[in-house]
Amino acid sequence: MSALKFEFASASKIIFGNKSITQLGAIAASLGKKVFIVTGSDEKRYAKITAGLDVQKLPYVLFPVTGEPTLDIIRNGIREARFSECDLVVGIGGGSAIDTGKAVSAMLSNPGDPLDYLEIIGQGKSLQHQAIAFIAVPTTAGTGAEVTKNAVISSPQHRVKASLRSNLMLPRVALIDPELTYALPSDITATTGLDALTQLIEPFVSIKANPFTDVFCRDGIQRAVRSLMRACIDGNDVAARCDMSMASLFGGLALANGGLGAVHGLAGPIGGMFPAPHGAICARLLPEVLMINFRALSLRAPQSPHISRFVETAHMLTGNQSSTVQDAYLWLRDLCDSLHIHSLSVYGLTPGDFEVLIEKSKTSGSMRGNPITLNDEEIIEILSLSI
């Protein structure tokens, strides 16, 4: 953070607010003639979208996604969208539906197979052509995928998650309507909300942090702190749901432009190997990574400017200007316990998996944003405290 230099990229247009979903039909009609809708399995979630398209007399094809996107799901989506001659993609749902939509829209305008463009397990080729128009409509408040330039794709064969990443696949429109999150069960509200909090803390202490992302992180952390528990207790708390949707949006903007860290560097490989919700993984790793990062900086880089960011994070989390990073660690642990977040051993993670996870984490782009390079012993300690 000595010589300031950064770039900032996001969706071409961001629309935020209650009942903003009513604008979807007119926006879609201005961008395409036939819509490929990627959604989850809950019909109630996409009913408002199809109603708007019906008003515009815009034909559409539904493509339900019941789990995290895999290469085969993406390939099926590409085939169906091409066969149906769709020229606009809408993703409505959580990160899985939105990432599927992003990947399909990108591959509809680029040759080859999605594996050709995947990081880590693929050839990592660069996209050559702008993705066809894509509208992202989140129904959870966590991933921030509506404003990021990557799609996370799982490969069961490789037991890993990898990203398809390019500025050419940024959504044309991100439409965030907090009312779409009201029906979320409390457990999903908790895990997605903790994912949002993680995606605000990691970019704030990242080596790629910049003045733009700092603004989003500081505001977003405070929104999540005051509203996550409230949203879990009362899903119809209008102010809390608005705060969490905003925190999620800000987290997406921050991570896309300020990077992440060891939480996500480990969460990707863990999620590829075990059937654990991404937000739950992040939640259990977050306090341990926060504390061990701070300790490593204090011991090996005591002059690092990042140390003060950990202290500021502690103040924001606890609401107490006298709090230490240890206090923040305990606050995060208590929050996870209060929200009934399971330890990672519940999903099958054991010490026998640590060596493989460490090696896989070293190929993760998220690790490059971590404020200090953690050694294997420190990563083992993080994993041990998370199971």
For 91-122, what is each residue's pLDDT tens digit?
A: 999 999 999 999 999 999 999 999 999 988 88
The pLDDT, as a whole number, for residue 91 is: 96
Q: Is residue 8 part of a domain?
A: no
How do residues 300-358 score in pLDDT, each as one tens digit?
999 999 999 999 999 999 999 999 999 999 999 999 999 999 999 999 999 999 999 99
If asked whether residues 164 and 220 sit together in one domain, one would say: no
How far apart are alpha carbons 179 and 173 in whole angstroms?
18
Joined together, the tokens standing for residue 24 give 């979807």
Task: For the chain, report the end-to-end CA distance as a whole number of angstroms.
Answer: 34
H or E element that contains 61? strand 60-64
- Higher pLDDT: 43 or 254? It is 254
Angle between helices 278-300 and 262-273 (to 10 degrees): 140
Q: Tell me the percentage of the chain whose pLDDT exceeds 70.
A: 98
Tell whether the model's pLDDT for residue 43 goes beyond 70.
Answer: no
Q: Which domain holds residue 210?
A: 186-386
Q: Are residues 303 and 362 in the same domain?
A: yes
Work out the burial of residue 202: count CB atoms within 10 Å of its CB; fewer than 13 is exposed, 13-18 middle, 19 or more buried.
buried
Q: Can you give the pLDDT at residue 21? A: 94
Structure tokens at 226: 């005051």
Same domain for 370 and 256? yes
Q: Domain for residue 6, yes or no? A: no
Residues 330 and 276 in one domain: yes
Nearest to 13 by CA among 174, 210, 161: 174
**Using a CB cutoff of 8 Å and minimum separation of 24, what contacts does 305-313 make?**
305/1, 306/1, 306/205, 306/207, 306/371, 306/372, 309/204, 309/205, 309/209, 309/371, 310/205, 312/204, 313/201, 313/204, 313/205, 313/221
Give the contacts of 364 (CB within 8 A, at least 6 positions apart): 120, 264, 265, 266, 268, 269
Q: What percent of the chain has pLDDT over 90?
A: 88
Mean per-residue pLDDT, 36-40? 93
Q: How confident is the model at residue 7 (pLDDT cuts 50, 70, 90)?
A: confident
Q: Give yes or no: residues 204 and 352 share one domain.
A: yes
| Prediction pTM value | 0.95
Mean of pLDDT values over 196-217 = 97
Domain count of the chain?
2
pLDDT at 6: 82
